[in-house]
Amino acid sequence: MDAYTPHTAADPVEFYGTQVNSRLLLGTAQYPSPAILAEAIRASAAEIVTVSLRRESGAAKAGQSEPGKALAGQSFWQLIRDLGVKVLPNTAGCKTVKEAVTTAEMARELFDTPWIKLEVIGEDDTLQPDVFGLVEAARILTRDGFQVFPYTTDDLIVADKLLAAGCEVLMPWGAPIGSGRGLNNPYGLRSMRAHFPRVPLVVDAGVGLPSHAAAAMEFGYDAVLLNTAVAKAGDPVKMARAFALAIEAGREGFRADPMEARDMAAPSTPVMGQAHFG
């Protein structure tokens, strides 16, 4: 399948001073094979991919793991480099501030980037963020020069505190990670967009269908980050392209200034001047 080319290149999105044309951010976990992962990234035209960093990754990089594991890790990083995409490391699975900060520090050393997708998980069943730990970790990391992309809820007070902590991007969840439920709280997401009109907002987690991504973009969000919906699809490459098209459609729909919803019908055909028969 040919690589997708965004038609909205004249409408780039900016994160911490870096402009990208694609508004789809793609995760790299759970794909059937490295080859399919690479094809999916190309088909989506994503320019930013997230990579989950574990402590054993650092050991593998230093040659402290089993040779097979070290080779697998190095092969994966080489695949990502060959694709020419920007890496957004994350702190997936971290449950404490200390764990998240330590993982972020390792990621900066390994990938030579100040970017970090910050996750501090507070609940096992929903993987809901611990927003108290999230704000604390964000404050520590931004003070240390990191450019933080916080995985958060759609709570406006938490959003304010994250911005005050130094974050310049907010990433509210659509639904629990990997659930595919879509946008559980449209009101909350719309409210966040209205309250922070100039802050880059990315819907992160829970998106299962291209229509979910299109809806997020129609709300005025700047991008969508997803992983499972593509990686676990029957055909990840086709699904990646479908999401790219949906995000472009949603963005163009938002920019076109859509009509407002009405409670009553409004005829599309004028009735003035029509003959009326008794």
- The catalytic residues are 117
Residue 206 labeled ligand binder: yes
Residue 228 labeled ligand binder: yes
How far apart CA 79 and CA 60 sit, in angstroms, is 16
Q: Which residue in 123, 121, 161, 122 sits closest to 142, CA to CA?
A: 161
Residue 178 labeled ligand binder: yes
**C-alpha atoms less than 13 angstroms from C-alpha of 263 in its C-beta half-sphere:** 0
Tokens coding 258: 């859509």
Tokens coding 263: 């409670």
Taking the CA atoms of 204, 213, 174 and 238 in sequence, report the sign of the dihedral they define.
negative
**C-alpha atoms less than 13 angstroms from C-alpha of 51 in its C-beta half-sphere:** 27
The Cα-based distances of 28 to 18, 20, 157, 160, 259 in angstroms read 21, 18, 31, 30, 37
How far apart CA 213 and CA 227 sit, in angstroms, is 12
Which positions make up the binding site? 178, 205-206, 227-228
Which positions make up the binding site for 1-deoxy-D-xylulose 5-phosphate? 178, 205-206, 227-228
